[in-house]
Structure 1
Amino acid sequence: MKILLSAFAFAPNVGSEPGVGWRWAAELGKQHEVTVITDATRRPLVEAEGVQLPPNVHVVFFRPTWLRAMPLNSATAPLLYTLWQFGLLESARRLQREQRFDLAIHCTYGVFRHPSFLGYLGIPFVFGPVGGGEDAPLALKRSIHGRQKIKELLRSLLNKVALFDPFLWAAYARATLILTKTDDTRQALPWPFRRRAIVYPEIGIDAPAGIQPTARQPGEPLRVLFAGRLLGWKGAHLAIRAVAQAVAQGVPVEFTLLGKGPFEPELRKVAAEAGVQDSLRWVSQMPQQELFALYRTMHCFLFPSLHDSSGNVVLEAQANGLPVICLDIGGPATLVTAETAIVVATRNRNEAGVVQGLGNAIRKLADDEQCRMAMSKAAIEHVREKMSWDERANGVLPLVDKALGRDWRGTVKDL
């Protein structure tokens, strides 16, 4: 089968959206012929010395002439990406006439607010997985201040305004299959499309072999890890307060906070006010292989993010045998099970109530080593059996079969 994969973000050997685009192409390419259309700025990364394209994967670098002067950075990315999508359709139609694709998939950026027009190619079209509709109640953002708070308010506003975008309605109306990373994003879609959208996490992991749960020895403190960018919505301030609560209740805890970002000064104030400086170890960053080794020295992973669409670190932690403590909002809750994680409820709770729930979860894992070890084993098995990259990318095709019927493959309309 010939697949056209739209991946504005696409690059090897990296995480986040570019890595997702690359891995979807690589996994689909194991069984199908894949053409990736990506932004022209990705060329240096894709064609760098030593980089080899995955088998059966071809790349087309695209940038409309009228957009070539616009640089790609964090400030310009949303506008540039939206304009790029508007310019893409004609080029995609030209490719379709030449290549006769059987299926089009929009992969990255995976944000529900931005339309993709590949549904106008006359072939089955998968829109997603998309995220970005995840959010937390204002009651859980009381401790986020300044620019971080303004960004949160603007993001929430943009999600609401997107519901009135006629281009977005047109894009979803043309989709054969709509995939969302979380149920939060499914509920954030324009209302006619919510019922037929399917929740489907977009990330996978290459689970390391031979991982065994790390037993906690008698008298040893519970080693707790947080890893992520230090932004207000990542919830590290809630994690610090939860550790402080557990320590105040007599639970022996060593807390490692790994990450860097603009919220770090505020987090250090929170740690000082909570009196947990002696229980907290700060690490700014480390290579992934060192991070994987660090996972294996820990006893649990604490990640109370307020609106992650996914959460690579949650998969990494489970793959390395760590039970997870997270909230019931956003992507992390879709990547765990009741056997691998303690998911703390947020409904009708303020920050203090959520912190109490997180603290109780820490205490439970500290008090019941048999339960913690069982969760650790279940985490390793869950990731290995259900969350591989092959499972993520190729699991989409049966969903298209179900939506259209199995006789669709190889039938292409003339444009």
Structure 2
Amino acid sequence: MKRLKVLMSAYSCEPGRGSEPGVGWNVAREVAKYHDVWVLTRPDESREIIEAELARHPIPNLHFVYFALPFWKDSMRWGQSGAMQIHYYLWQIYAYFVARRLHREIGFEISHHVTFVKYSSPSFLALLPVPFVWGPVGGGESAPGAFWQDFSFRARAYETARSFVRWIGERDPFVYLTAKRSAAIRATTEDTAKRLLKMGATDVQVLPESGLSEDEIARLAQYEMPEGSPVRFISMGRLLHWKGFHLGLRAFAKANLPDAEYWLLGDGPERERLTILAQKLGIASQVKFWGRLPREETLRKLEECHVLVHPSLHDSGGWVCLEAMAAGRPVICLDLGGPAVQVTEKTGFKIPARTPDETVSDMAEAMVRLVRDSQLRKSMGRSGQLLVKNHHSWQVKGKRLVQLYEEIVARQKAIAQTINPKIV
């Protein structure tokens, strides 16, 4: 197929980053290897970083269109607050008018909303007269009700507010319109896919948002599994209630592994509660809180450990699971959200999330098995590396996305020719 003219909306986009910025940058970069891409994004977040990267490594077919709301330019000062979510919504409206003007000049053949990865907020690019791809989109996951018993008042208030905001978003007519007008939707989890189908979406694929470059995969593949004792479990991420690290500590205590250690990397509002919990459980001497570390140091800690524990209760992504598998480390996660889409029975343990006590017991059993069976650790590690290499590199994801574009555009042209045979 000839080169397509592709329009992308990437509210968050930055090279060299993970999470939302990394999704925006990597999707745009990979598609630009095959087609001509224009990306709508904000100047205040990463314009200097993007332009510096393009100066070092030019991508001729990748064009960025920067714009800010004329009455609210500094979106980043609000962090992840509710004000930023309002800014995001208004920016999407403004993006439509910028996109409509560009479409008159360039004549796009397909449009794609990439970030934010949020299913309950609309993309007005769906209103353009070209096929529209939505996603990755997530956010449809919820912490199972039985697990709320471990939450603080503040945590319960957060979960309640999150559910309420999502409930409002699902009743936004523009969100419905986005879902209905999408030629294809890429949902990060089964939970999000179910919500989108209820909103009238027809073509929903469940695909992880996360990815790694081939260079990252090759580098992580060099990490050898540590030999001997102690066997170290590691959890990495912000210390938030919904990350479920309290379940990991309880499971480690229940496993009763005197020659093992549990390392937690990250910081956040739950750190004090987790520290107190480790003391109450009698495992404080085996648990190390390393705090928030630079990425390079974080990966060095991963190299020193044997197993990743990621008991998140509603994670749309789960980048750390991909990194651990690429490093040849088995993963213990809950059978929820993004990690459940990434991890398989060959690469780790997906623990059912019915009740906290059952989950803790099952996690403890998995920990015991992995401590006692070094061959199991190694075989799961090898399977994880193969899985990431074959399915989760940005290069593989880019090729599959391009194939989706080409199928959609070809289908659209076939329909148009059926209606008007004179169309070539």
Do 1:169 and 1:190's aligned partners in 2 also have CA atoms closer than 8 Å?
Answer: no
2:202 aligned with 1:202: no
- The CA distance in 1 between the partners of 2:35 and 2:211, in whole Å, is 19
With 289-298 and 101-110 compared, the bigger mean Cα shift is at 289-298
Task: State the match for 2:420 in structure 1.
Answer: none
Residues 69, 104 of structure 1: CA spacing in aligned structure 2 closer, same or farther, 3 A cutoff? Answer: same
The reply on whether 1:362 has 2:374 as its aligned counterpart is: no
When structure 1 is superposed on structure 2, of 26-35 and 63-72 the one drifting more is 63-72
Aligned to 2:16: 13
Contact 2:183-2:203 within 8 A present in 1 as well? no
- Of 179, 190, 194 in structure 2, the residue corresponding to residue 187 of structure 1 is 194
- The one-letter amino acid of 1:73's match is G
Of 325, 350, 374, the match for 2:332: 325
Matching of residues 151-300 of structure 1 within 5 Å: 151-189=158-196, 191-193=198-200, 196-206=203-213, 207-209=217-219, 211=221, 214-215=224-225, 217-218=227-228, 220-247=229-256, 250=257, 252-300=259-307
The separation in 1 between residues aligned to 2:69 and 2:233, in whole angstroms, is 48
Q: Secondary structure at the match of 1:188?
A: helix
CA contact (8 A) 1:129 1:202 kept: yes
Match of 1:87 among 89, 94, 97: 94
Q: What does residue 422 of structure 2 align with?
A: none
Aligned CA distance change for structure 1 residues 19 and 217 (closer, same or farther; 3 Å) = closer
Greater share of helix: 2
Work out the CA distance in 2 between the residues paired with 1:320 and 1:399. 30
| Larger CA deviation: 155-164 vs 235-244 | 155-164
Q: Distance in 2 between matches of 1:47 and 1:110?
A: 20
Asked if the contact 1:7/1:38 (under 8 Å) is kept, the reply is yes
> Are 2:312 and 1:305 equivalent residues in the alignment?
yes
Distance verdict in 2 for CA 1:148–1:246, change over 3 Å: same
Whether the 8 Å CA contact 2:324–2:330 is kept in 1: the answer is yes
The alignment partner of 1:13 has SS state of: coil
**Structure 2 partner of 1:68:** 73
Match of 2:356 in 1: 351
What secondary structure is seen at the aligned counterpart in 2 of 1:302? strand
Instruction: Report if aligned partners of 2:252, 2:262 keep a CA contact under 8 Å in 1.
Output: yes
> Secondary structure, in 3 states, of the residue corresponding to 2:134?
strand
**Could you tell me which residue of structure 1 aligns to residue 134 of structure 2?**
127
Unmatched segments (≥5 aa) in structure 2: 418-424
**2:70 partner amino acid:** T
On the 8 A contact 2:220/2:323 being kept in 1, the answer is no
Change (3 A) 1:74 1:45: farther
- Is the Cα contact below 8 Å between 2:233 and 2:262 reproduced in 1? yes
d(CA) in 1 for partners of 2:108 and 2:409?
A: 16
Moved more, 207-216 or 114-123: 207-216
Distance 1:344 1:88 in 2: 41
TM-score norm. by structure 2 comes to 0.90
Counterpart residue type for residue 227 of structure 1 = M
List runs of 5+ in structure 1 lacking aligned partners. Answer: none
Aligned counterparts of 2:223 and 2:378: Cα–Cα separation in 1: 7
Residue of structure 2 in register with 1:378 after alignment: 383
Q: Supply the distance in 2 between the matched residues of 1:48 and 1:265 (Cα, whole angstroms).
A: 41
SS at match of 1:343: strand
What is the CA distance between 1:161 and its match in structure 2? 2.9
Quote the residue 2:398 is aligned against: 393
1:31 counterpart = 2:34: yes
Residue type of the partner of 1:236? F
| Distance in 2, Cα, partners of 1:403 & 1:26 | 20
Give the conservation status (yes or no) of the 8 Å contact 2:266–2:292.
yes
TM-score w.r.t. length of structure 1: 0.92
CA distance in 2, matches of 1:304, 1:382: 20
What is the CA-CA distance between 1:222 and the residue it aligns to? 1.6
Look up the match of 1:58.
63
Q: How do residues 131-150 of structure 1 correspond to structure 2 at under 5 angstroms?
A: 131-150=138-157
Matched residues, number: 407
SS of match in other structure, 1:193: coil
Q: Which amino acid in structure 1 is aligned with residue 180 of structure 2? A: A
Q: Verify the 8 A CA contact 2:226 2:305 in the aligned structure 1.
A: no
* 1:359-401 deviation per Cα after TM superposition (whole angstroms, max 9, x unaligned): 1110111122222211011111111111100122331233344
1:251–1:363: 8 Å Cα contact kept in structure 2?
A: no
1:289 maps to a residue whose letter is E
Give the CA deviation at 1:44: 4.3
- 1:68 shift after superposition: 3.4
Matched residue of 2:119: which SS? coil
| Distance (Å, rounded) in 2 between the aligned partners of 1:238 and 1:158 | 27
Deviation at 1:27, TM superposition (A): 1.0
Partners in 2 of 1:395 and 1:124 — Cα distance? 17
Identity of aligned residues (%): 34
Which one-letter code corresponds to 2:31 in the other structure?
Answer: L
Greater alpha carbon shift after TM alignment, 196-205 vs 65-74: 65-74
Q: CA separation in 1, counterparts of 2:121 and 2:412?
A: 31
1:406 offset after TM fit, Å?
5.2
Contact 2:335 2:352 in 1 (8 A): yes
- For the residue of structure 2 that corresponds to 1:83, the secondary structure is helix
Separation of aligned partners in 2, 1:91 and 1:324: 44
Distance 1:227 1:403, change over 3 A: same
2: CA distance between counterparts of 1:73 and 1:20?
Answer: 18
Alpha-carbon distance in 2 for matches of 1:138, 1:105: 35
